Structure 1
């Protein structure tokens, strides 16, 4: 309807699929896809993934911004947003995709697959006796919706799972810790560390040279949250020295990862292009529609973000 429209922007998502999914959930919603936004004054809601600088400044009546993903750090740093309600997406499809990626990355290391991949390239029959999963300690940093789902799935498979988060959490099969001491213990006790912490000013370079040095020699790192959580120069050094044996990285401080970046040259690094989890329109549109209904009634949206915390 005129005067109650949503603008959609994403350079990687299927805009028409999102339009269809949103209208199926909320038939009266006027969905406009950038750049065809019509009268900017009509826009009340925005569903976006990393829009360009100045994008939001055109919409004087904006009330709700929903981020097309779980991490909202890019929205917190903008100067083109008036005070609005922020929400992030969280849907079963996103959780399942993230858990599947984490299970793949952790199990690839638990079953020594990189060693077999290298042996295959050498044409060598290289036997390594498998370790039972309960002997393999996995630390999951960040126990929000995505982190909790991944930790729970790993525990259900039989891994020994530690978790770390800002606030105390109770997850079946997971030994959860908090605080600086808790972080140091999880790093020191884990064979494999999975990073799913939201990026905030407090977590920028959460894993620097000192933190990476706490991990046991030969440990592995999986980062599926944000690249800036890890000091990449310190990570490269830890991987080159052999202190860290392997890393699976889906996120980077600069994306796409520059061609000259030293991570490309390391054969103990698996690089994927920020694909660990994506939003599924048919599932996530339900949450977006419900958030819009709530905002229309003067209520907070689902999965509201606290700008002071950054998540």
Structure 2
């Protein structure tokens, strides 16, 4: 590790000031461990200083081969959460650097994201923006909203978040249908599409695979996107998918903005086919407050905070801190999920 005045220091780099709770909680947790130094560096400065660090938490930064090539002392690149699509994993592997995510099932992140999905669903059904207009106009008893009771919810991506969402939706009296989280390798040994391992039959009424997504969309009143983002799923919610949805149905995304084709979603809202859109993630982040999609009263947007709760972020900060300690001590790394 780094030699700092005769002391060996393990240095942890957080890329950029966004998602501040991630580094703030980590710094707080590491106060009792002076042999680990945690720094927050502006995104534009990361390539110039990354050679000084042993652990990097990328957050929303694109980590390409150029940046990785400068990480001469790097032992581990990790995400404060589960999405590692911004990291060039092949380049990291060639440089001998491990890449890891923090499993959402053990930190409370999946539960937090599931709660946000329900927040957005209820906001759309009860017409949150119209309610605010009624308050300003001193109107009582309007708008008339809808209930979750009796609705069919299609969970597009039944991974850890999807499972947690299904658990919480069931008491609302809904029918739940779902397809697997990813399908980069979606054929089983018999050559047939297969759902993701671990789908709980007690939580889901009907399950399917890649080829079923438009059929399932046509059955649903609400579609919640929980997919992993990869080359197979980018832009998967496109004009064809949206046209397969019922007129007036609602669409929620708590996963990654790149799963949606912007122009298709805009057109579906403009035509009135899509009943409502609730998103915690966007095509470009930070989200443009002047984006024309916000002109629609049936659009709700939150600033990528689905997983940003104190219990979840403190749990993940502890994982980052513990891993830094393990790297410093040269012991086996635990609590993370390697992707290379």
Q: TM-score, normalised by structure 1?
A: 0.82
Report what 1:218 is aligned to. Answer: 248
Report what 2:185 is aligned to. Answer: none
CA contact (8 A) 2:124 2:277 kept: no
Cα distance in 1 between the residues matched to 2:39 and 2:145:
57
The gaps in structure 2 that reach 5 residues or longer are 1-6, 183-195
Residue 60 of structure 1, CA deviation = 0.8
CA deviation map 1:210-252 (0-9, x unaligned): 0011111100011111111010100010011111011012211
- 1:68 matches 2:80: yes
- 1:47 matches 2:77: no
> Which of 309, 316, 325 pairs up with 1:284?
316
Q: Cα gap change, 1:184/1:202 in structure 2, threshold over 3 Å: closer, same or farther?
A: same
Cα distance in 1 between the residues matched to 2:133 and 2:165:
28
Q: How many residues of Structure 1 are paired with residues of Structure 2 in the alignment?
A: 305
- 1:141 matches 2:156: yes
- 1:109 matches 2:115: no
Report what 2:275 is aligned to. Answer: 245
RMSD, matched Cα? 3.4
The gaps in structure 1 that reach 5 residues or longer are none
* SS of corresponding position for 2:275: strand
Q: Cα gap change, 1:125/1:7 in structure 2, threshold over 3 Å: closer, same or farther?
A: closer
- 1:170 matches 2:199: yes
> Which of 289, 299, 306 pairs up with 2:339?
306
CA contact (8 A) 1:7 1:31 kept: yes
Report what 1:7 is aligned to. Answer: 13
* SS of corresponding position for 1:252: coil
* SS of corresponding position for 2:287: coil
Q: TM-score, normalised by structure 2?
A: 0.76
CA deviation map 1:129-181 (0-9, x unaligned): 854x4411111222222232222212244322222213243233223634223
Residue 191 of structure 1, CA deviation = 0.6
Cα distance in 2 between the residues matched to 1:260 and 1:130:
29
CA contact (8 A) 2:101 2:336 kept: yes
> Which of 19, 22, 26 pairs up with 2:27?
19
> Which of 78, 100, 103 pairs up with 1:87?
100
- 1:234 matches 2:297: no
CA contact (8 A) 2:25 2:317 kept: no
Cα distance in 1 between the residues matched to 2:146 and 2:13:
52
